[in-house]
A and B are shown apart, each in its own frame.
Chain A
Amino acid sequence: MSGGPDPILAVERLAVTFDTPRGSVRAVDGVDLSVREGEILGLVGESGSGKSVTLRGIVRLLRANAAVAGRVLWKGADLLAASPERLQAVRGREIAMIFQEPMTALNPVLSIGTQIEESLVAHTTLDDAGRKRRAAELLDLVGIASAKVRLAAYPHEFSGGMRQRAMIAIALAAQPRLLLADEPTTALDVTIQDQILKLLLGLCQDLGMAMILVTHDLGVVAETCDRVSVMYAGRVVESGPVEALFRHPRHAYTHALLRSMPHGGAARQPLVPIPGQPPRLDRPVEGCPFAPRCQLVEDRCRTVAPPFEPVGPAHAAACWASDRLAMAEGTA
């Protein structure tokens, strides 16, 4: 991809295969992603398209039954080849992660303060008093009132929104450069969703932190992200600047997603399902995985996988109908 400074994170041909009792499942199949300093990248796709597995793959948080291939270049060095010590030093300190379900992602038997401070113990040289002070600052930063008192609280004493704030505070403890946010608002009430998103955006801006934001919600992407990658059946099928991709989608899947949204992506709406099912991941797909559900399908789609090719400035797509889409948009 051309233009701009070098990415701090470059995921190249990431592939994750799960060994399951029913055979091997290729959940992520050659994903390319890149994130620049301070940039917010949206990652969208239907349920099961491999978004969470991709995020976990980046910091190698996958279970023992996962085989990972490809490269995850963080500041130029491959995390997939890194030593456990190096990985441990990167996790939390340089790349942090937050999860969808704040209730299950926080340890129920440890106080919020303990869960913040253990990150500080791992990654800073602060002394006990310094850590206490910093932990209170962090709760303050994520908008939790009377932070000092709240440090002693346990997760079950917090509301859903506050738990998500606490999780963000914990993730930010060691001032990471990149935050992997896996549907951070899906489990929350609509009004709280907005607050948490605004909080995350503000934090990225204030701290100059980059973020990969996984979401089902194209409206969220339109409002918050600089660039977006669209996943389908374990692959990135289109990726580009939010403006360009929303105005001129060059993959039939993205096109269908956007068409099913009111106001071309302005209103906040979850993805409206496209008729049909994604392909099964436990057997190889011939041709384009979207072909069976595609309205623009042509013969070669079913036999030859389209290459992931540049279609505009920093914009790429893997679709045989890419040119037809461009022309249709042009005449409309």
Chain B
Amino acid sequence: MSRAGLVLWRLLQIVPTFLLIGVTIFVLARLLPGDPVSAMLGDRASDEAVNRLRQQMGFDRSILTQFVLFIEGIARGDFGSSTAYRIPVTQLIGERLPVTITLTALATVIALVFAVPLAFVAAVKANRWPDFLIRGVFQVGLSSPVFYVGLILLTVFAAWLRWFPVGGYGETLGDKLWHLFLPALTLALSFSAIIMRNLRAAILEVLTAEFVDFARSKGLAQRIILFRHVLRNALVSTVTLVGLHAGSLLGGAVITESVFAVPGVGRLMVDSIFARDYPVIQALTLVLAVVVSLAFLVTDLIQMALDPRVAR
């Protein structure tokens, strides 16, 4: 399949995924204990007010009708209005999604910047002290809970040293990245450890491949053997791993965004669940599913570029 063909095919595949998740999330949202209208108006609202709002929001209709309206809305690009913020869901998500995407992208970049060179050193010096040191440090990163690491970074670099802001989000791109750096670092730590371990193992395996011996027998420089022959082959499996972690990275964003008060969709999700904000929960789940699907697609494209055997 050609590259363009693959992209088109994979984009088409997102449609049934989208529908399936749509049904699931619609049902799940209604299984959440509690009622959105009473959540909005508080315990002491009058029955009349509650009923009026129920009608406004369409909660008085049958579940089936609600579902049909929901799907119709999606088809029009209309996810309704947030019951908590009282603004269109598309606007709400449109404001916050870029924040989370920037955060996770920055986290991925940070994770790779740490993991790739250090995995390389660890593999080349396997079972000698640099390897033990690198693996030990990453092991700590891997076994520390995200919120704990986040709080420590916050205390040290934001509160004490004041190198970074304590929370929030900036205006200009540079300002935004500066605000997002600590949360991204928090998010990157365990991810980086996972990449490091995977890549180190992959490099060690590739180092024993016969084509590496063949490359040596050609009289190539060590640098070329390591970068062109070893690293490139080893990265093929690591790219898959990075792609597969797109989902859990978004999950991690929920925690980091809460710790660092970052106005992204992770925190929005938590807030919306507490507020029984059905329209937002539904739309957000769908949007995140699409984001993850797109991340998989990008992963496949990078893999095609790295490994000609993938492009069948």
Whether B218 pairs with A99 at a CB distance below 8 angstroms is no
Contact of A92 with B308 in the complex, beta carbons under 8 Å: no
Which residue from B208, B217, B220, B309 sits with its C-beta under 8 Å from A108?
A: B309
User: Which B residues from 216 to 267 make CB contacts under 8 A with A?
Assistant: 216-221, 224, 228-229, 232-233, 236
CA distance A108 to B209 in the complex (A): 11
Indicate if the CB atoms of B219 and A174 lie closer than 8 Å: yes
Binding stretch for chain B, among A8-16, A23-31, A83-91, A257-265? A83-91
What residues on A are CB-neighbors of B236 within 8 Å?
A: 109
In the bound complex, do residue A88 and residue B219 qualify as a contact, i.e. CB atoms below 8 Å apart? yes
Q: Determine if B217 and A59 form an interchain contact, defined as CB atoms under 8 angstroms apart.
A: yes
Interface size on A, residues (CB 8 A): 34
Known contacts being A101-B210, A108-B233, is A119 close to B219, with CB within 8 Å? yes
25 A-B pairs, CB-CB below 8 angstroms?
A: A63-B208, A88-B221, A90-B219, A91-B216, A91-B217, A92-B220, A93-B219, A97-B214, A99-B210, A99-B213, A104-B209, A105-B211, A105-B213, A107-B233, A108-B211, A108-B307, A109-B232, A109-B233, A122-B221, A122-B224, A123-B219, A154-B308, A167-B214, A171-B217, A171-B218
Quick check: A122 and B220 within 8 Å, CB to CB? Answer: yes
Report if B50 contacts A (CB, 8 A).
Answer: no
Given A88-B219, A110-B228, 9 other A-B residues pairs in contact with their CB atoms under 8 A: A56-B213, A61-B216, A92-B218, A97-B217, A109-B307, A110-B229, A167-B214, A170-B214, A171-B217
**Residues of chain B at interface, number, CB under 8 A:** 23
- Chain B stretch 158-194: residues in CB contact (< 8 A) with chain A: none
Secondary structure at the B interface, as helix, strand, loop or mixed, is: helix
- Chain A residues proximal to chain B, CB less than 8 Å: 56, 59, 61, 63, 88-93, 96-97, 99, 101, 104-111, 118-119, 122-123, 154, 156, 167, 170-171, 173-174, 180
Nearest first, the 5 A-B pairs at minimum CB distance are: A92-B219, A91-B219, A92-B218, A97-B217, A154-B308
B214's contact among A88, A105, A122, A173, by CB below 8 Å, is which? Answer: A105
Is there an interface contact between B217 and A104, defined as CB atoms closer than 8 Å?
Answer: no
Closest Cβ of chain A: how far from B1's Cβ, in Å?
Answer: 15
